């Protein structure tokens, strides 16, 4: 049985104090719920060490939103996978479309990041997804396959087993335009088939594939009801504790 997961991605939101308040609120919201899935919050680097202490003994797990593509040294402003791990975070989002688009992270850079995350005991949440023009041109499956082959398919089956995938159609991120449950299911099934062709059916069946892109308290249950949608990567709605708790309860 593969892990079900709801992960929040705060992006570049919340000061340290605001982040602490949000975690307190989320802990309160989750008191009554016995989540049936892994609950993860991905915060900016500056929150990690503080939040790690706050969530000790709770069901909440912690992720960074990024890590460097270099191990250590003279890379001013960068934060390494080892540093992230030393805060207590267990996961790291890698390959988010905003990193690909605004910071020009290509397949090779992302491959390095994945390797470093794994080498330092972090589990990557690896994002893939097509832009609007690619879907309109009906090449969305090929785009996602290229992203997998370009940055992940160099991994051994054992290493790949530590990866959580997040399918995030770029046209759905922060736009309010959610993929339909049918679109999400079709792509998730395609991704699982592609993983099976590379690593075999067992690895594919065990791979957690999240949906991300305007997933919210209203549409989460329907998206999660699809057999290949194992949970969600939640941006905007993860910044409101009651909404995020509703999404967790929907999984
Ligand atoms: P959104 O973002 O839920 O605000 O669309 C999702 C993401 O980018 O991970």
User: Of all protein residues, whose CA lies closest to atom 1 belonging to ligand 1?
Assistant: 235
In the chain, which ranges are E strands? 5-9, 38-43, 60-64, 91-94, 123-128, 164-167, 209-212, 231-234
Largest CA distance in the chain: 48
Shortest CA distance to 67 belongs to which of 104, 95, 31, 107?
A: 95
User: Of all protein residues, whose CA lies closest to atom 9 belonging to ligand 1?
Assistant: 235
Partners of 92 in the beta sheet? 64, 124
Kindly report whether the global pTM for this prediction surpasses the value 0.95. yes
Question: How confident is the model over 31-52, as pLDDT tens digits?
Answer: 978 899 999 999 999 999 999 9
**What are the extents of the domains in the chain?**
5-250
Question: How confident is the model over 207-232, as pLDDT tens digits?
Answer: 999 999 999 999 999 999 999 999 99
Q: Does the domain made of 5-250 have the CATH classification 3.20.20.70?
A: yes
Confidence label for 132 from pLDDT (cuts 50, 70 and 90): very high
- For ligand 1, the distance from its centroid to the CA atom of residue 173, given in whole angstroms, is 5
């Amino acid at each position: 049985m593969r892990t079900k997961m709801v992960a929040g991605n705060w992006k570049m939101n919340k000061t340290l104090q605001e982040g602490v308040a949000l975690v307190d609120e989320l802990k309160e919201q989750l008191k009554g719920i016995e989540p049936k899935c892994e609950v993860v919050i991905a915060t900016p680097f500056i929150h990690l060490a503080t939040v790690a202490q706050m969530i000790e003994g709770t069901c909440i797990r912690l992720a960074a939103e990024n890590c460097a593509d270099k191990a250590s040294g003279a890379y001013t402003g960068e934060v390494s996978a080892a540093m992230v791990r030393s805060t207590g975070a267990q996961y790291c989002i890698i390959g988010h479309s905003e990193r690909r688009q605004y910071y020009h992270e290509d397949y090779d850079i992302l491959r390095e990041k994945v390797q470093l995350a794994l080498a330092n005991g972090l589990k990557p949440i690896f994002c893939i997804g097509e832009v609007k023009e690619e879907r309109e041109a009906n090449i969305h499956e090929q785009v996602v396959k290229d992203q997998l082959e370009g940055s992940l398919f160099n991994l051994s089956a054992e290493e790949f087993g530590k990866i959580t995938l997040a399918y995030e159609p770029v046209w759905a991120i922060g736009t309010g335009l959610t993929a339909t449950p049918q679109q999400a299911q079709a792509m998730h099934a395609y991704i699982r088939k592609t993983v099976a062709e590379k690593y075999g059916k067992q690895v594919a069946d065990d791979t957690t594939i999240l949906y991300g892109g305007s997933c919210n308290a209203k549409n989460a249950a329907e998206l999660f009801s699809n057999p290949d949608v194992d949970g969600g990567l939640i941006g905007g709605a993860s910044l409101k504790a009651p909404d995020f708790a509703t999404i967790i309860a929907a999984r």
